Amino acid sequence: MSTNERHVPVMLRRCLELLAPALAEPGATVVDCTLGLGGHSEALLDTFSGVRLIGLDRDPVALKLAGERLAPYGDRATLVHAVYDELPDVLGRLGTPRVQGVLFDLGVSSMQLDESGRGFAYSQDAPLDMRMDQTTGISAAEVLNTYPPGELVRILRAYGEEKQARRIVGAVVREREREPFESSGRLVEVIRDALPQAAKRTGGNPAKRTFQALRIEVNGELAVLERAVPAAVDTLAVGGRIAVLSYHSLEDRLVKRTLAAGAGSTAPAGLPVVPERYQPRLRLLTRGAELPAEEEIAENRRAAPARLRGAERVREVLP
């Protein structure tokens, strides 16, 4: 299966619309901070013929596949193995301190969900890995088998918003003493058996929130995002634009908070005239978070939870 067949970019047209005014000038640079299989990047290079693209991904497999997909664009596309909070360092090495566009498509990629052996999907049995970069860090199995029960409960509540966290962790601890966890299928069974019937009847697969929590913990996703969005805003030239696709409320709240802070005045209360250094440095481009159309969700079920926010840099930060 080709990368084009495996990956349908979410809210693609709207992302292009949001970024378009900043990418119209020849020589503009856009960063795809979450390259994945390169669907959004390919569309950016196709739509804006004068644009240069820098693509980041922590997953070496995704970089290889995206590289094959974007090879026809030659040196217009520069792909870098990096986590997206490393953006300022990457731009520094490339001699491009300011860019005109930044795109984030957060969460787990289609490739990672579909690739057997990664353990991201609760719908298929696979080794419990969940690392986006399999060359570094600890796996989901190590988290399940070694973390203290209290820490596992915290993770499930904080990152999965799982109301049954204590019940699930109790079952996990009993099971790991009998035999360490290795496969996603066994974890799904343990979760199903641990939950009361009422909890199984709502909200889709009962393992969904636990898998989300483990993935976020393994990859440090929220901590990375908390650093990455402000860093990306800082790299935008005046007139530059950022678009961020989130897939759960934890991500969306972080993005909303950062963009809203940039779009607000930092002046002390009561000033009769607000000096320029206190003026907003961002202008919000979306009213709240925009959602995918029903038609898109019908064609691509993975678009259903998407939330899109955008902003434009309107002012440099004065010293």
- CATH number of the domain where residue 215 is located: 1.10.150.170
Amino acid making up residue 211? F
Residue 227, domain CATH: 3.40.50.150
Residue 246: strand pairing partners: 307
Residue 56: strand pairing partners: 80
Task: Tell me the CB-side half-sphere exposure of residue 121, using CA atoms within 13 A.
Answer: 15
Residue 282: strand pairing partners: 313
229: left (phi over 0), alpha (psi -120 to 50) or beta: alpha
Tokens read off for 243: 């678009």
Task: Tell me the CB-side half-sphere exposure of residue 220, using CA atoms within 13 A.
Answer: 13
Q: Which residues are known binding-site members?
A: 38-40, 57, 84, 105, 112
Q: Are 152 and 172 in contact (CB under 8 A)?
A: yes
Return the residue matching tokens 């787990």.
108
Contacts of residue 198, Cβ cutoff 8 Å, sequence gap at least 6: none
Whole-prediction pTM: 0.87
Q: E-strand spans in 106-230?
A: none
Q: What is the pLDDT of residue 109?
A: 53
Counting the structural domains of the chain, the total is 2
Q: Are residues 7 and 101 in the same domain?
A: yes
Q: Are 252 and 307 in contact (CB under 8 A)?
A: yes
pLDDT along the chain (319 residues), means of 10: 58 97 94 94 96 94 94 97 95 96 82 52 78 86 96 96 94 96 92 81 78 92 94 97 94 96 83 80 95 93 92 84
Q: Which residues are known binding-site members for S-adenosyl-L-methionine?
A: 38-40, 57, 84, 105, 112
Segments forming the whole domain that contains residue 246: 3-105+221-313
Answer yes or no: is 115 within a domain: no
Dist CA 176 CA 62 (whole Å): 32
Measured in whole angstroms, how far is the alpha carbon of residue 282 from the centre of its chain? 21
Q: Of 175, 190, 219, at which residue does a domain stop?
A: 219
Amino acid making up residue 297? I
End-to-end CA distance of the chain: give it in Å, rounded.
Answer: 52
Q: Are residues 166 and 240 in the same domain?
A: no
Contacts of residue 202, Cβ cutoff 8 Å, sequence gap at least 6: none
Q: Are 194 and 162 in contact (CB under 8 A)?
A: no
Answer yes or no: is 116 within a domain: no
Q: Are 209 and 161 in contact (CB under 8 A)?
A: yes
Q: Are 154 and 185 in contact (CB under 8 A)?
A: no
- Strand (E) or helix (H) holding 296: helix 294-299
